[in-house]
Structure 1
Amino acid sequence: MGFADQRFTVNLSILFTELPLLERPAAAAAAGFAAVELWWPWVDSPTPERPALDALRKAIEDANVQLTGLNFYAGHLPGPDRGALSIPGEASDRFRANIDVAAGFAASLGCTALNALYGNRVDGVDPAEQDALALENLVLAARAADRIGAIVLVEALNGPESPRYPLVSAPAAVGIVDKVNEATGLGNARFLMDLYHLSMNGEDLPSVIEHYTPRTGHVQIADNPGRGAPGTGSLPLADLLDRLTKAGYDGRIGLEYKPGGTTGEETFAWLPETARAAR
């Protein structure tokens, strides 16, 4: 098995960033990809004007690529923020204002996975207060996602790079998934298994795959160390993806790695074109 037997989606918020946003879907298509995913593209606005939404939608449609994943508003990412939904005040308000906008944009392109980054801990705020707010907002997000036939993803990040983010293990993220599903009864909250972040946390990746694949809605990869393309670090990514397949995961694999100074075909030389184009 290996990379050639998987289906991939390329993250346009970390790859092809040498190009303006509206040119990236076509660049992904030119590199052979049939699917793309995005962090929330408008970091300063949870509710961008209609022309901005329409322009990105048209760029994706014109490139004939499928949008497979979209983040809800998460603040400045990349940057100091790691989400907004657990932060009281303006950040939480901005997340709530974004829920229907993000869900509507996703629905217009047939996207059925929405990632809800939890947000950093805030000095002077009781973590229990933040967790209660997070659950309220995740319930709202899950209900909005359900209305468009989508899932809500909850992601574990890594402690070394995100020291104020509370979900830095697979069990922590899956625990939130379970709370959301219990609160809504919808069952559409799922774990986003990012193998790079989990490896940075020192987790036993085969064990994570064995235990949490049934609750996983999406998988993302980058090599470690360096967060580069597969083969630039020491993670046995081909083997890990084989394990995921054997454990029952049949979704796409999100490419969320840093290109390391390469562009175009060089960035994806490790990946057979048949795997890029698989729908």
Structure 2
Amino acid sequence: MSHQLRYTVNCSLLFTELPLLERPAAAQRAGFSAVEFWWPFVEAVPPDRQVDAFVNAVTDAGVQLTGLNFFAGDMPGGDRGLVSWPKRSGEFRDNIDVTVGIGERLGTQGFNALYGNRVDGATEQEQDDVAVENLALAAQAAARIGATVLLEPVSGAPRYPIKLAADALEVIDRVQAANLGLLADLYHLAVNGDDVDRVIAEHTDRVAHVQIADNPGRNEPGTGTLPLDQQLSALEANGYAGWVGLEYKPSTTTETSFGWLPFERR
């Protein structure tokens, strides 16, 4: 990789051979200074001791928590967020302060708000209206600590309506919060058939966070055919100076999956 962007390790997909609280230290031992996580708890408002244990694990490892997802429901069961889900909107709202509170303690600058699948029993219009309200509330809370809320196009979830960068930007434009930005996961965008080079050329200024995996397979860079190095260089040339999240499934072990990235670049 030729550019100079900084990497952060997604510890919800990497180091899964270890218990969750041991992963930040493992990332540090592998040479990284930053980690990100999906929501690391079972419920929207976990017990304080669980929150403290998570915060301590990150702090003790000496790494930066660059990103955290808001509670997104039952991800293994197919849920992809509560932002636009009218019946569970209250859970999302209850989760906002917990998530931003963790971020405040750890200096986290990005919070990923997964939009949510289309659900039976609510119209698309109703879901989109709820989403705009919830994203505005999340952005307001994040603004108190100088942080950004991220909206992400996702692949592999047929009822998830935010598939292309344009879909996310349309929602962001509706909310009109200065600290709401696009999470450009180059893997999801490519799988969904977006024109990733064009997105980078036209919308780098809207990109608040980047994640990568190769395709096919969602494994580490070099295992597939995506021009990730070229795309990251283009993002950087256009002024992107944020983190690049390694959000991939290692094809063998986590350690081996870092082989594409020289130790001094981590």
TM-score range, shorter chain: over 0.9
Q: Which residue of 2 aligns with 1:233?
A: 224
Match among 139, 142, 149 for residue 142 of structure 1: 139
Q: Which residue of 2 aligns with 1:166?
A: 161
Q: Which residue of 1 aligns with 2:201?
A: 210
Q: Verify: 1:128 aligned to 2:118, yes or no.
A: no
Q: Following TM superposition, by how much is the alpha carbon of 1:3 offset from its aligned partner in structure 2, in angstroms? A: 4.6
How far, CA to CA, are the matches of 2:148 and 2:5 in structure 1? 21
After superposition, what is the alpha-carbon deviation per residue over 1:193-215, rounded to whole angstroms, capped at 9, x for unaligned?
Answer: 00000000111111010111101
**Cα RMSD (Å):** 1.0
Q: Following TM superposition, by how much is the alpha carbon of 1:124 offset from its aligned partner in structure 2, in angstroms? A: 3.0
Q: Which residue of 2 aligns with 1:179?
A: 174
Q: Which residue of 2 aligns with 1:189?
A: 180
Q: Decide whether the 8 Å contact of 2:204 with 2:240 is kept in 1.
A: yes
Unpaired runs of 5+ residues, structure 2, are: none
How far, CA to CA, are the matches of 1:258 and 1:109 in structure 2? 25
How far, CA to CA, are the matches of 1:230 and 1:104 in structure 2? 33
Q: Which residue of 1 aligns with 2:8?
A: 9
Q: Which residue of 2 aligns with 1:87?
A: 85
How far, CA to CA, are the matches of 1:49 and 1:168 in structure 2? 34
Q: Verify: 1:66 aligned to 2:64, yes or no.
A: yes
SS at match of 1:167: coil
Q: Which residue of 1 aligns with 2:233?
A: 242
SS at match of 2:143: helix
How far, CA to CA, are the matches of 1:152 and 1:106 in structure 2? 12
How far, CA to CA, are the matches of 2:3 and 2:33 in structure 1? 15
Q: Decide whether the 8 Å contact of 2:164 with 2:194 is kept in 1.
A: yes
How far, CA to CA, are the matches of 1:268 and 1:92 in structure 2? 38
Q: Following TM superposition, by how much is the alpha carbon of 1:263 offset from its aligned partner in structure 2, in angstroms? A: 3.1
Q: Decide whether the 8 Å contact of 2:111 with 2:148 is kept in 1.
A: yes
How far, CA to CA, are the matches of 2:9 and 2:17 in structure 1? 15
SS at match of 1:123: coil
TM-score relative to the length of structure 1: 0.93
Q: Decide whether the 8 Å contact of 1:8 with 1:253 is kept in 2.
A: yes
SS at match of 2:210: strand
How far, CA to CA, are the matches of 1:206 and 1:88 in structure 2? 35
How far, CA to CA, are the matches of 1:164 and 1:13 in structure 2? 23
How far, CA to CA, are the matches of 1:144 and 1:3 in structure 2? 37
How far, CA to CA, are the matches of 1:124 and 1:70 in structure 2? 30
Q: Following TM superposition, by how much is the alpha carbon of 1:148 offset from its aligned partner in structure 2, in angstroms? A: 1.1
The count of corresponding residues between Structure 1 and Structure 2 is: 266
Q: Following TM superposition, by how much is the alpha carbon of 1:7 offset from its aligned partner in structure 2, in angstroms? A: 0.6
Equivalence map 1:34-49=2 (5 Å): 34-42=33-41, 44-49=42-47
How far, CA to CA, are the matches of 2:10 and 2:229 in structure 1? 19
TM-score relative to the length of structure 2: 0.98
Amino acid at match of 2:116: G
Q: Following TM superposition, by how much is the alpha carbon of 1:123 offset from its aligned partner in structure 2, in angstroms? A: 1.7
After superposition, what is the alpha-carbon deviation per residue over 1:113-149, rounded to whole angstroms, capped at 9, x for unaligned?
Answer: 1110000001232100000001111111000000111
Amino acid at match of 2:75: L
Match among 86, 95, 98 for residue 95 of structure 2: 98
How far, CA to CA, are the matches of 1:248 and 1:169 in structure 2? 21
How far, CA to CA, are the matches of 1:259 and 1:78 in structure 2? 18
